[in-house]
Amino acid sequence: MPAAAHVDFSTLETPVALLDERRLERNIHHMQTAVNALGVRLRPHVKTAKCLPVAARQREAGGHGIAVSTLKEAEAFFAAGYDDILYAVGIVPGKLDHVRALRERGCALKVIVDSADGAHAVVEAGRAAGHAFEVLIEVDVDGERAGVAPDDPALIGIGRLLHEGGAVLGGVMTHGGGSYHRFGHDARVAFAEQERSRCVQAAQHLRDAGLPCPVVSTGSTPTALSAHDAAGVTEMRAGVYVFNDLVMAGLGVCRVDDVALSVLTTVIGHQADKGWVLVDAGWMALSRDRGTQDHPIDQGYGLVCTEDGTALDDWTVSAVNQEHGIVTRRDNATSADVRERFPLGSRLRVLPIHACATAAQFSEYRVLTNDGRLETWPRFGGW
Ligand SMILES: Cc1ncc(COP(=O)(O)O)c(C=O)c1O
């Protein structure tokens, strides 16, 4: 959907992270409705946007608590009034003082572990400080990243260590990252069920061993939007759905028209004999993510749109340097008219391959508001 025609970008110095508020709100509503229909809570993962006005919209839509990927996010969101926070990256001893400091200031910050070593570290730090940390055990449902397998006897050992060592055993959580390789509706539905059933199985093993497991937290954007059943799950976490991106579109999780984030860029030159258009968005603006490389449609470093946001399906950013992007036709055909079609100084937009990575290149979003204005929303990065 093109942006309101009267928005004037001419004063913006490119590259710029442009956010379409209408699409953003549509994406938030779509996810919240899907998770509500499953009868569980949605805990938005705020690592995608790292932006307070975006999180406020997720909360207003019905989100309960947030998940973060850094303690810096936890600090920033706690300062803004969010006090139910899951730090969804495995905790290490060196971060526990920081976690405790946040908890002692009133933040119900929860951490995750997936090993006896991690559990020991939490218990030891808790004992030393006379503090009860709240901990979820991370479960591995697909062999893709971290976690303890649901049928691994180590699971019960970790649970006992925490529970008997004075920590609050909050439950289990998993992230079915394998969903990013499941193409098509049926494969996604089956994978969502794999994520659910394995995480619920882990919770059941803990309960059978006499351990508490109140929270069963699953989630990724593809699984949250594909699950048919959430029996045994208490909450789902999802992040990238706020912006969506070409990986999600390539998987069939959203349409290209649902991608709310784009990079506004300016044509800075041509190599007309090769059919190249050079733009001022290189990897520093777009990121180096090549997440559609193994998709049926490879979108390179991003899909090119006109300045008003209409996708030019034949044109992608096919190569990047730090501050240069090379825009070419997808079929590599040389178009003798690139200078006329994309004049020097003209503007294009590039849709991101992986919105979290592209957004991370910027310190603010320029937002095309629902009423046709441009606003600036700050975002934060770093650790
Ligand atoms: C632990 C955890 N939970 C939830 C998510 C959200 O997944 P998505 O961005 O697909 O919604 C992520 C994403 O990386 C994650 O690492």
Is 11 within a domain?
Answer: no
What is the DSSP-derived secondary structure letter of residue 258? G
Residue 308 shares a structural domain with residue 187:
no
Residue 272 shares a structural domain with residue 239:
no
Q: What is the pLDDT along the chain (383 residues), one digit of tens a residue?
A: 444 446 788 889 999 999 999 999 999 999 999 999 999 999 999 999 999 999 999 999 999 999 999 999 999 999 999 999 999 999 999 999 999 999 999 999 999 999 999 999 999 999 999 999 999 999 999 999 999 999 999 999 999 999 999 999 999 999 999 999 999 999 999 999 999 999 999 999 999 999 999 999 999 999 999 999 999 999 999 999 999 999 999 999 999 999 999 999 999 999 999 999 999 999 999 999 999 999 999 999 999 999 999 999 999 999 999 999 999 999 877 777 999 999 999 999 999 999 999 999 999 999 999 999 999 999 999 99
Nearest-CA residue for ligand 1 atom 3 is 175
Residue 79 shares a structural domain with residue 183:
yes
Residue 192 shares a structural domain with residue 306:
no
Is 172 within a domain?
Answer: yes
What CATH number is associated with residue 212? 3.20.20.10
Place of tokens 């399906």: 313
Ligand 1: centre distance to CA 48 (Å): 9
Residue type, 330: R
Q: What whole-number distance in Å separates Cα of residue 152 and Cα of residue 38?
A: 28
Residue 214 shares a structural domain with residue 272:
no
Between β-strands 347-351 and 311-320, what pairing exists: parallel, antiparallel or unpaired?
unpaired
b/e map of 91-108 (b: 16 or more CB within 10 Å)?
beeebbeebbebbeeebe
Q: What pLDDT does 57 receive? A: 98
- Candidate from 30, 35, 41, 45 with most ligand 1 atoms within 8 A of CB, to mutate: 45
Ligand 1: centre distance to CA 35 (Å): 15
Is 155 within a domain?
Answer: yes
Q: What is the pLDDT of residues 214-231, one digit of tens each?
A: 999 999 999 999 999 999
What CATH number is associated with residue 372? 2.40.37.20
Is 87 within a domain?
Answer: yes
Nearest alpha-carbon partner for 381 in 364, 360, 367, 366: 360
Give pairs for 1-7: CB < 8 Å, separation 24+.
Answer: 1/257, 1/309, 2/306, 2/308, 2/309, 2/310, 3/308, 3/309, 3/368, 4/368, 4/372, 5/308, 6/372, 7/368, 7/372, 7/373, 7/374
Is 27 within a domain?
Answer: no
DSSP character string of 170-203: EEEE---GGGGG--SHHHHHHHHHHHHHHHHHHH
Residue 119 shares a structural domain with residue 228:
yes
H or E stretch including 118? Answer: helix 116-129
Is 346 within a domain?
Answer: yes
Q: What whole-number distance in Å separates Cα of residue 361 and Cα of residue 26?
A: 24
Ligand 1 atom closest to the CA of 237, numbered from 1 = 4
Total tally of structural domains belonging to the chain: 2
Q: What whole-number distance in Å separates Cα of residue 352 and Cα of residue 91?
A: 30
Axis-axis angle for helices 116-129, 96-104 (nearest 10): 50
Ligand 1: centre distance to CA 207 (Å): 26
Range of the domain at 88: 38-243
Residue 230 shares a structural domain with residue 280:
no
Q: What pLDDT does 5 receive? A: 47
Residue 353 shares a structural domain with residue 271:
yes
Ligand 1: centre distance to CA 332 (Å): 35
- Candidate from 220, 223, 240, 358 with most ligand 1 atoms within 8 A of CB, to mutate: 220
Is 4 within a domain?
Answer: no
Ligand 1: centre distance to CA 240 (Å): 7
Instruction: Give the residue from 199, 215, 243 where a domain finishes.
Output: 243
DSSP character string of 79-114: HTT--EEEE-S---GGGHHHHHHHHHTT-EEEEEE-
Instruction: Give the residue from 243, 268, 300 where a domain finishes.
Output: 243
Between β-strands 235-238 and 261-271, what pairing exists: parallel, antiparallel or unpaired?
unpaired
Q: What pLDDT does 6 receive? A: 60
Residue 333 shares a structural domain with residue 275:
yes
Ligand 1: centre distance to CA 93 (Å): 23
Residue 236 shares a structural domain with residue 290:
no
As given in the structure block, the two tokens for residue 259 are 């991608």
- Candidate from 41, 138, 175, 289 with most ligand 1 atoms within 8 A of CB, to mutate: 175
Q: What whole-number distance in Å separates Cα of residue 360 and Cα of residue 135?
A: 28
Kindly report whether the peptide bond that precedes residue 93 is cis, defined as omega within 30 degrees of 0. Answer: no
Is 33 within a domain?
Answer: no
* pTM exceeds 0.85 for this model: yes
Instruction: Give the residue from 199, 214, 243 where a domain finishes.
Output: 243
* Helix extents (H) in 165-301: 185-208, 221-226, 246-251, 283-286
Q: What whole-number distance in Å separates Cα of residue 352 and Cα of residue 359?
A: 9
Q: Spell out the residues 6+ positions from residue 156 whose beta carbon is closer than 8 angstroms to its own.
A: 205, 206, 209, 211
Look at residue 304 and give its three-state secondary structure: strand
Tell me how far CA of residue 162 lies from CA of 67, 134, 372, in angstroms: 21, 9, 52
Ligand 1: centre distance to CA 303 (Å): 23
Ligand 1 atom closest to the CA of 240, numbered from 1 = 9
Residue 238 shares a structural domain with residue 272:
no
Residue 325 shares a structural domain with residue 268:
yes
Task: Report the pocket of ligand 1 as residue ranges, CB < 6 Å.
Answer: 45, 67, 88, 175, 219-221, 237-241
Nearest alpha-carbon partner for 141 in 46, 207, 227, 28: 227
Nearest alpha-carbon partner for 84 in 137, 46, 43: 43
Q: What whole-number distance in Å separates Cα of residue 69 and Cα of residue 240?
A: 13
